[in-house]
A and B are shown apart, each in its own frame.
Chain A
């Protein structure tokens, strides 16, 4: 595994900010690669969880945020559960995703950030998810209108997906939460 490190925007690269965000200590990783062995997506993509840990350790900067694992990681947490040093690798992935969004890292295949935005927009508005609105927003964003459409007639017939938006949720509560999170984002880093 060849690792190239570019000059980071701050001394020590992303390591310090990731440690601050997650509370994990990256130095204790001794590259046993148990995380990579159990990772369900590692064999399907270019980057590996153990490689991310090593690159952070060596002082990698924002280029790390372009690694394909950041938006292909399924958040199954197998890595964290099996790490012999108790490093919460899944939390590191969450932190890298948050940083990728914040620093506008180049978009990854599959548009997971777009999916997450579409999902959370319905939660903010309705207090609960509204699948049809979420799927429509996502499809408009990706311009891949035909994906999965062959399944809709059966799903609608079986009432496996709700047509009407959810009602009865405490919308004030969710809007208040989203407002506070947005405010906090403004002042950070």
Chain B
């Protein structure tokens, strides 16, 4: 299993924890990830809120690099994954856009590079049976609220990822790891990640609804697969405490971090120390239940 791994800009900054846990888990499961040389930013929300040619050309520049490698692209950032898939979709369906992009890149790109999310690789290529067999330390009933956010599931006709209203991919993986995945209603509600800095007032309210609902459902932690969701749900709990006086202390962990723990990788190699809300309750639960 060999893929072109597009880390995304946040992997080098606010989501090093996602990046480190992804690489550690891939190594443990025999997944080979090769970084495309010179990859560039996908433009994210700022790109598509500004100009459509920009929003498609930026991801296409990296897709073209992956095409030269002859591999499928794998992204673990839901935002990058989304922009890559949207770019392919627009290039395939809009000849004018394709022409504009080829002028911007100086080379034609046909929209054919297959884009996968790391979660899809885990579920479809590695498989839950193989992952289950590799688990050394199961999560032993850890109550996990799996949160998908927007960018994996929408637009559904483009990402084609699971069910757009009630996705279960993360839940299936968490269950295979021995967790109790919770039935809760906010799996695909938006946390407002794109406006975290520019409209903090709005975002504090949105994150409060999501974290509050997870707590009401009895969650020990929220498992995510998007760096925007992670930092937003994690860091904004400090503002919720300051402004609303609610102290959730809800750890927001990447599913790759939970998987890494189960595979026997030590927490320091999975970036657990980078989370703002301490995940020690999660780590302790796994360790105590496995070592007595």
Given known A72-B195, A78-B190, contact A176–B106 (CB-CB < 8 A): yes
Q: Is the CB of B50 within 8 A of A98?
A: yes
A40 touching B190 by the CB < 8 A rule? yes
**What 9 pairs between A and B have smallest CB-CB spacing?**
A76-B190, A170-B38, A116-B46, A162-B13, A180-B104, A119-B46, A77-B154, A115-B198, A129-B9
Name the one of B49, B50, B104 contacting A176, with C-beta atoms under 8 angstroms: B104
B56 to chain A, nearest CB (A): 10
Cα distance, A162 to B58, chains bound together (Å): 22
* Contact present for B14 and A161 (CB under 8 Å): yes
Most buried by A among B50, B206, B273: B50
Number of interface residues of B (CB under 8 A): 62
A13 on interface, CB distance cutoff 8 Å:
no
Please name all residues of chain A whose beta carbon is closer than 8 Å to the beta carbon of B44 when the two chains form the complex: 119, 129
* Distance, CA A178 to CA B41, complexed state (A): 12
> Which chain B residues lie closer than 8 Å to A112 at the CB level?
49, 195, 198-199
A131 interface residue per 8 A CB criterion: yes
Task: Output the least CB separation between B148 and chain A (Å).
Answer: 12
Please report A residues at the B interface, Cβ cutoff 8 Å. 21, 23, 40-41, 44, 71-72, 74-78, 80-81, 88, 90, 94, 97-98, 101, 109-112, 114-116, 119-120, 123, 127-129, 131, 135, 138, 147-148, 150-151, 154-155, 158-162, 166, 168-171, 173-174, 176-178, 180-181, 184-185
How many angstroms between the C-alpha atoms of A118 and B35 in the bound complex? Answer: 27
Instruction: List CB contacts (< 8 Å) of B1-52 with chain A.
Output: 9-10, 12-14, 16-17, 37-41, 43-52
- Partner among A160, A174, A185 whose Cβ is within 8 Å of the Cβ of B16: A160
Residues 40 to 88 of chain B near chain A (Cβ within 8 Å) = 40-41, 43-54, 57-58, 61, 65
B residues with a Cβ closer than 8 A to A are 9-10, 12-14, 16-17, 37-41, 43-54, 57-58, 61, 65, 94, 100, 103-106, 150, 153-156, 164, 188-190, 192-195, 197-202, 205-206, 231, 235, 238, 273-276
Closest-CB distance, A94 to chain B (whole angstroms): 6
Q: Kindly state the separation between the CA atoms of A135 and B200 in the bound complex, as whole angstroms.
A: 14
Number of A-B residue pairs, CB cutoff 8 Å, is 177
A44, B52: Cβ atoms closer than 8 Å: no
Q: Given A74-B192, A81-B155: A177 and B13 within 8 A (CB)?
A: no
State the Cβ distance, A117 to closest chain B Cβ, in Å. 8
Contacting residues, chain A, for B201 (C-beta < 8 A) = 110
Report how far A54 CA is from B199 CA in the complex, Å.
26
Are the C-beta atoms of A180 and B53 separated by less than 8 Å?
A: yes
| 21 A-B residue pairs with CB within 8 Å | A71-B199, A72-B199, A97-B49, A110-B201, A112-B199, A115-B197, A116-B49, A120-B46, A120-B47, A120-B50, A120-B54, A127-B41, A131-B13, A131-B14, A158-B273, A159-B16, A161-B13, A168-B37, A173-B38, A174-B61, A180-B53
Q: B55 — nearest CB in chain A belongs to which residue?
A: A94
Chain B neighbourhood of A161, CB < 8 A: 13-14
Cβ distance B206 to chain A, nearest Cβ, rounded Å: 6
